[in-house]
Amino acid sequence: MNMPVDQLVDGFVRFRIDLSYDGTDFAGWARQPGMRTVHGEVVRVLTQLFGDSETDFDLRVAGRTDAGVHAEHQVIHVDLNERQIRRIGRNKDVAGRLNKLLDQDVRVRSFEQAPEHFHARYGATYRRYRYRVADATANQNAMHGRFTLWLSYELDVLEMQATALEFYGLHDFASFCKPRDIGTTIRDIKEITVKRNKHDNNVIEIEVMADAFCHNMIRSIVGALIKVGGGRATKAEVVAALGAKNRAHPYKVVEPHGLSMIEIGYPPVKKLAEQVALVQRTRTLDEN
């Protein structure tokens, strides 16, 4: 078989599924034997509805998330053959039917036929994540405890904003990436903001949008920003750490439970094929 990776095979129809999940009780996205993972749960209910699939429906995900990380919005695609599609039958509310089979901590937001050339991972132009921190100034809302990092001291949001600006644009983020054998650590941060959300308990929201992220990148950057916000590091020190392109700095990877994927961006339908081709030319397979 000499065709491009992940091209749709004749006789199959591609479906886009939008999901959300509370990552607390999952060992992350990726399937692992004996572990409860989001991928595993989704394949389980797809199998219940559509029957066995040797290839696990060729499911692909926009961004794999680590253990404990949530998704307010995640996008996947699956390829279904005619026999599988016939099992939909008369009740077209596939999202509702999948939700009945899923536990409450994973929800299908929508299930629809994907446009031509759609690919959940290679078609995405950006990913957006949010990290939530409740410092001493925020209201302590225990109902959000599963997706909030609690700090007992106050953070200086202005200093954090000023430091965050230094991450904008194209950088080699080697200092803030967990090492891998292969692949570049160059990424393009298109947006990074730090603000208090007055409508949500005065919690500090750190939002980062980029073409893609290397492993642990956001949690490492948040670790550095929290040090600055708490007065235990300066902007200059963080800038120097970024420039050094190695992990010999004191900023730790913060806990996963404050982090949520909140948006995946796709180009307009007529640009999809172009985007998928572009990403396949330039990306290695281990990236998110």
Question: Which residues does the annotation mark as catalytic?
Answer: 66
Instruction: Report residue 124 as tokens.
Output: 């995405």
Q: Nearer to a second copy by C-beta: 5 or 143?
A: 143
147 binds a second copy (CB under 8 A): yes
137 binds a second copy (CB under 8 A): no
Bridging pattern class, strands 126-134 and 149-150: parallel
Q: At what angle do helices 235-244 and 217-229 cross, to 10 degrees?
A: 150
Q: Nearer to a second copy by C-beta: 259 or 272?
A: 259
283 binds a second copy (CB under 8 A): no
Write out the H or E segment, with its range, that includes residue 44.
Answer: helix 38-50
Exposed/middle/buried for residue 246 (C-beta within 10 Å: 0-12, 13-18, 19+): exposed
Which DSSP string corresponds to 237-275?
HHHHHHHHTSS-SSPPPPPGGGEEEEEEE---GGGHHHH
Bridging pattern class, strands 12-21 and 106-113: antiparallel
CA distances from 241 to 143, 218, 226 (A): 36, 15, 15
Number of residues that bind a second copy (CB under 8 A): 31
CB of 66 to a second copy, least distance (A): 16
Binds a second copy by CB under 8 A, chosen from 92, 140, 169, 191: 140
Binds a second copy by CB under 8 A, chosen from 7, 48, 139, 234: 139
143 binds a second copy (CB under 8 A): yes
199 binds a second copy (CB under 8 A): yes
Interface with a second copy by CB under 8 A: which range of 47-55, 147-155, 212-220, 268-276? 147-155
146 binds a second copy (CB under 8 A): yes
Instruction: Report residue 135 as tokens.
Output: 């410092």
Binds a second copy by CB under 8 A, chosen from 145, 169, 179, 231: 145
Applying the rule CB under 8 A, the residues between 57 and 116 that interact with a second copy are 70-72, 93, 95-96, 99-100, 104-109
Instruction: Report residue 31 as tokens.
Output: 């399937």
Applying the rule CB under 8 A, the residues between 246 and 275 that interact with a second copy are 260
Are 110 and 17 in contact by the 8 Å Cβ rule? The answer is: yes
Binds a second copy by CB under 8 A, chosen from 7, 44, 86, 136: 136
List residues binding a second copy (CB under 8 A): 19-22, 70-72, 93, 95-96, 99-100, 104-109, 136, 139-143, 145-147, 150, 152, 199, 260
